[in-house]
Structure 1
Amino acid sequence: MNRARKLLAPSILSCALLAALVLAGTASAEIRVGEATAPVNPAIDPSASITAAKAEYNSDTGTVAFAVTTAAAPSPETKGKPSPLEMGAALANPSSCNNAAVGSTTSFPTFAFQYSYVQPLLVIWRLQESASVEPTFPETVGQATRSVSGTTTTFTATVPRAANLPFSCAVALVHEGVAGVEGRPIEPLVFPLAVAKPPAPPAPAPQPSAVLSIAKSKPLKLTAGKWTKVRIKVANTGSATAATGSLRLKAPKGVLVKPAKQRLPTLAPGGTWTVSAKVQLTAKAKKRSTVSLTAVAGTATAKGSLVLKRQG
């Protein structure tokens, strides 16, 4: 029997996978996904050691995608000789999604990909609906698509006959020759399928708001007993119009200000307003005094300061 016919014929791999299933009814259209990881097995060929697998099944379209990651990328040759390795990936519906159930129970339907490393262009999918009906081309046997990225091999196929089937478990494995016959034990990576969670809703857009700021001024050098005019610039750096508000000047001991409170008009986004006031140092003023500035417009506030240095 040539290699292509061998792959098309039911193999022990397929039988082992098919033997794990329980008859079930159809399910509503949905996306089911599952994934699992495993440590590298140093005792076997790196291209046979499965470290991760991920399956996705669209029950509406019958599309199956299965990604299998191995410790090393699959290769048609091993040490200069044709590789004896074959990879299988299947969807099933066992009573329990674990190794024991996969190997001990019988049920249908199943959907499996089969791929021989030595024939990378020949990837077969098989849909077996019951124990008494063998898969036939093209309804339940066909050519699948295979792609490789790094050490990950991905199989895909869209099979209308595979739509709305009760797959609840995924199985991935690599074996040498005929599975279980040439001394290579099968250790499949088995994991459940579940309905994919819907994407999180987008975060609500931030509501526009006004943001006030007070421009920083250089320290002023003043002589005690003299009034000095100062200018204070208030800006709206937000995205909404700032309501009518006020600017307060709070003077420390030894400092006089007038007026202590001034009105701020409405400010459009990006708008500015300059307030004029007068300050005076008295004989009790310290060498360095700070006037506190507070701008308020609705819920928007801003803090600032004006530093005064006494001369003489």
Structure 2
Amino acid sequence: MSGSDRVRQEEGGLLYVVATPIGNLDDLSERALQVLSKVDLVAAEDTRHTGRLLQHLGLSKQMIALHDHNERGRVAKILEVLGEGRQVALVSDAGTPLISDPGYIVVREVRAAGFPVSPIPGPCALVAALSVAGLPTDRFLFAGFLPAKGSGRRSALTELSAETATLVFYESPHRITDLMADLVTVFGAERECVLGRELTKTFETFYAGSAEAVLAQLQGDPHGARGEFVVMVHGAAPLPAGEGASLDTDKLLGLLIKELPVKKAARIAAEVSGLGKNELYQRALELKGN
């Protein structure tokens, strides 16, 4: 902590970023409880949801809503409170704020104004899921929520198809089977996947196996389309140096040009294969013509 941060903290103007439970309320840390007990204002993604948590903790706090649609407009209010030497807690509906949740604009502006920002660590769905997935975690890429529409989702997956790090996504229950079907199509039926559903809650469930097998497990489970999901996918096998040309580029281009303009399809295929963009552009035009 810098000297200026220490002065600010002694004066009291401080923003806490507080992780809250993702399901099981017993996962709230003692430190998080202490912070929520002492702050002057709670900036919550959903004040009704956070209100229930505070009520469970026996706390009554002034709250303001801070979500994707109003975050920029809340900066002034939070800076005003901090400027008065008071303290603010930023919380999301569940887990660690800013991890696929609103808050980064506020944190950036609060820092720019010279106030310290202190993390109160705790539950995070992607970390909890990875810890029990049995997939490599020395490198992973968190991509949050993929596009809701099928064409956009398949395009995003295609761009990630050659990524060697473990991939992590969040997905909602009404799109989970569509996502798994697209994973089978784009990544192949045998790509290893692990899904975590309702983490830390009563009906916590994990599905593991090939993409095709996990899709079948979901479709066979009457509760498979309930709850929030963390989707983890084993990274692609790294290509030996100079073997980009061994990819089935026609198949890759064929998938891409169904969803994207030829120019963009060629660019993505070039990134995945290591082949020349102009060469792939010409080939994509031929395939589209046929």
Same fold (TM over 0.5): no
Higher helix share: 2
Range class of TM-score, shorter chain: under 0.3
